[in-house]
A and B are shown apart, each in its own frame.
Chain A
Amino acid sequence: MSRLTRATQIGSALIRTSLLTAMQYRSDLAFDAFAGLLRTIATSAPLLLVFQRDQTIAGWTLPEAAWVMSLYLLMQGILGGLVEPNLGEVVESVRSGNFDLVLMKPADAQLLVSVRTVAPSHIWDVLASILLAGWAVSQGGAPTPVNALVAFGLLICGLASMYALWLMAISLSFWFVRVDNLRFLLWSAADAGRWPIQVFSGWARTVLTFVIPVALLTSFPAMALRGQWDLSALATAAGVAVTFVVASRLAWTRALASYTSASS
């Protein structure tokens, strides 16, 4: 069995049990679904408010900016639904020593901690992302297949980079027991990704591309859909993604080596 097949098998089993757990409490699930819907609306609403006053912002029309928002919602759905809830879980299990039992499983510990818990309410983000993308297509015409392909490649680079950033944050919990605040910091910084990168000044663009590379996931693919891409942008995105993924794997491996468990 290939590593990918095995990872898919384990990932789907974990997601299945997470969903079963989420469905165990009906009232919690209903409340989370309602809160999730409000969060999705609150995330997208500022875009419409801004465009009520101006026709364009930083050279982007509403349908074009809707692509950025659509991609941001997709990131919020994937990272918020699959990756971010696990940060809190890992921090707690490292603190309590229950992480011992994760390490005893014959599976990649990184995979086990990455999809152990899911937050189903983030499905609204994904649905809103699809709706918004559909509306943007209806307003501005569909992107060419090449542009769509490049945008998809950039999206994968961005997702990989942001996941790696989260994994590095998880790794820190092995050395610093209280890293909860890092979750809020990361979300606050990633929040900037919902606006086209041209809105920001030079240094902020650098940060959003190379430090907290949320622009790789939102603005870069949205620009590619408009045909605004070149090979250097692709190479930059791939370079950032590879750097982040390698660094996060190193951080994770070092974190495991320095795991001290907890006294029993």
Chain B
Amino acid sequence: MIHVRDLKKIYKVPVKQPGVWASVRSLFDREYREVRAVDGITFDIAAGERVGFLGPNGAGKTTTLKMMTGLLHPTSGEVSVSGFTPKHRDDAFLRTVTLVMGQKQQLLWDLPPTETFALHRALYDLDLRAWKESLDELVELLGLAAFMDQPARNLSLGQRMRCELAAALLHRPKILFLDEPTIGLDVEAQVIVRAFVSAYHARHGATLLLTSHDMDDVAAMVDRVLLIDQGVIRFDGSLPELARRFGSGRRLVVRDAHADFSSIGLTRAGETWEVTVDASDINARLSAVLARSPAAEVTVSDPPLEDVLRKAFGESRPAAAP
């Protein structure tokens, strides 16, 4: 479905020293330096996969996404999406994909979303029946009926984002590129967006590529993670594999307000007791907990994704030169 080979995007950015004289000099003799935003990445994504691109700011996630959508032309390397070369912007390719950007909007600002939907019908050349069927489904899944006839500028951010998703998916794309789709949304709207994306994936078997800094997005919407840092892939695998590779162990949470587990190394966090231990230690620690309180409610899970990623980003960076 998606094949990326040794993909690079290198920018030339001007370098300027501070001060008036340096500014005058840079008018005539400008110095540049190379920024390797994406530095030779290779991966494959199968149809129907849900993949998250994770990394700190400036890691190269969005640049990679934009090269896969054809918005940016690679400096070198190859990208093939559903058999197309994205930068050629074939009509058939653009009908297969969609891009949702949490920080940018395509709704017509002064008009109700229904007008954007009508415009998209013309842009994607959808016949009336297919368009109506798709619209009805999206209106129902996203709960748009109550506000889709109000001008977009009068909608809340959450309502706008739901309409943005509808506009982006009216043509029933097979590949969804989601660039921080929940950024700035309140918790309720985030939950709606995540549930909708998962439902769309389940109904239409779409391939999902997501960038996000929100770990709840990642946990809810993807199965596979590509960890990108400084333009290269540092990890490619499932979420549990990521936790095993970078997580420091397993997290044990015991809900028992009456017992005291401090002597076996657990710390109290409100109603619960918690500890993160090495995977090989988990059985012994679990036995100790149950010996003290056989009826305790016990949960064993991977450590929080935030902790795993913090550690992953820390470890993935090459050691600084002395």
Interface of B is mostly: mixed
- Asked if B91 lies at the interface with its beta carbon under 8 angstroms from chain A, I say yes
Contact A97 B104 (CB under 8 A): yes
Given contacts A20-B111, A103-B71, A104-B98, contact A264 B62 (CB under 8 A): yes
Q: Which range holds the interface residue count of chain A?
A: 20 to 34
* Chain A residue nearest in CB terms to B97: A104
Q: How far is the CA of A9 from the CA of B123 in the complex (A)?
A: 8
- Asked if B110 lies at the interface with its beta carbon under 8 angstroms from chain A, I say yes
Residues of chain B contacted by A6 (CB below 8 angstroms): 125
Quote the shortest CB–CB distance from A151 to chain B (angstroms). Answer: 34
- Asked if B103 lies at the interface with its beta carbon under 8 angstroms from chain A, I say yes
Contact B123 A107 (CB under 8 A): yes
Contact B108 A100 (CB under 8 A): no
Contact B101 A106 (CB under 8 A): no
- Asked if B94 lies at the interface with its beta carbon under 8 angstroms from chain A, I say yes
Quote the shortest CB–CB distance from A214 to chain B (angstroms). Answer: 33
- Asked if B99 lies at the interface with its beta carbon under 8 angstroms from chain A, I say yes
Residues of chain B contacted by A10 (CB below 8 angstroms): 122-123
- Asked if A201 lies at the interface with its beta carbon under 8 angstroms from chain B, I say no
Given contacts A13-B122, A17-B111, contact A261 B71 (CB under 8 A): yes
* CB < 8 Å neighbour of A13 from B70, B71, B110, B123: B123
- Asked if B72 lies at the interface with its beta carbon under 8 angstroms from chain A, I say yes
Given contacts A24-B110, A106-B124, contact A100 B104 (CB under 8 A): yes
Residues of chain A contacted by B105 (CB below 8 angstroms): 98, 101
A-B contact count (CB 8 A): 81
Contact B94 A105 (CB under 8 A): yes
- Asked if A263 lies at the interface with its beta carbon under 8 angstroms from chain B, I say yes
- Asked if B11 lies at the interface with its beta carbon under 8 angstroms from chain A, I say yes
- Asked if B73 lies at the interface with its beta carbon under 8 angstroms from chain A, I say yes
Q: Which range holds the interface residue count of chain B?
A: 35 or more
Q: How far is the CA of A114 from the CA of B95 in the complex (A)?
A: 21
Quote the shortest CB–CB distance from A4 to chain B (angstroms). Answer: 14
* Chain B residue nearest in CB terms to A11: B122
Quote the shortest CB–CB distance from B107 to chain A (angstroms). Answer: 10
- Asked if B180 lies at the interface with its beta carbon under 8 angstroms from chain A, I say yes
Q: How far is the CA of A128 from the CA of B180 in the complex (A)?
A: 51
Contact B119 A14 (CB under 8 A): yes
* Chain B residue nearest in CB terms to A258: B73
Q: How far is the CA of A107 from the CA of B91 in the complex (A)?
A: 7
Residues of chain B contacted by A109 (CB below 8 angstroms): 89
Contact A105 B72 (CB under 8 A): no
- Asked if A257 lies at the interface with its beta carbon under 8 angstroms from chain B, I say yes
Interface residues of A in 213-264 (CB under 8 A from B): 257-261, 263-264
Q: How far is the CA of A24 from the CA of B111 in the complex (A)?
A: 8
Residues of chain A contacted by B124 (CB below 8 angstroms): 105-106
Quote the shortest CB–CB distance from A175 to chain B (angstroms). Answer: 13
Encoded as 1 (CB less than 8 Å from any A CB) or 0, chain B from 95 to 134 comes to: 1011101011110101100010011011111000000000
Residues of chain B contacted by A45 (CB below 8 angstroms): none
Quote the shortest CB–CB distance from B281 to chain A (angstroms). Answer: 42
Given contacts A13-B123, A21-B110, A261-B71, contact A101 B99 (CB under 8 A): yes
Quote the shortest CB–CB distance from A102 to chain B (angstroms). Answer: 9
Residues of chain A contacted by B40 (CB below 8 angstroms): none
Quote the shortest CB–CB distance from A28 to chain B (angstroms). Answer: 10
- Asked if A1 lies at the interface with its beta carbon under 8 angstroms from chain B, I say yes
Q: How far is the CA of A258 from the CA of B72 in the complex (A)?
A: 8
Contact B122 A100 (CB under 8 A): no
Quote the shortest CB–CB distance from B161 to chain A (angstroms). Answer: 14
- Asked if B151 lies at the interface with its beta carbon under 8 angstroms from chain A, I say yes
Q: List 15 A-B contacts (CB under 8 A).
A: A9-B125, A13-B119, A17-B118, A24-B111, A101-B101, A103-B71, A104-B71, A104-B99, A106-B92, A106-B94, A259-B71, A259-B72, A261-B71, A264-B103, A264-B180
Which A residues lie at the B interface, using CB under 8 A? 1, 6, 9-10, 12-14, 17, 20-21, 24-25, 96-98, 100-101, 103-107, 109, 257-261, 263-264
Closest A-B pairs by Cβ, 10 of them: A13-B122, A106-B94, A106-B91, A101-B106, A24-B110, A21-B110, A105-B123, A104-B99, A106-B95, A264-B103
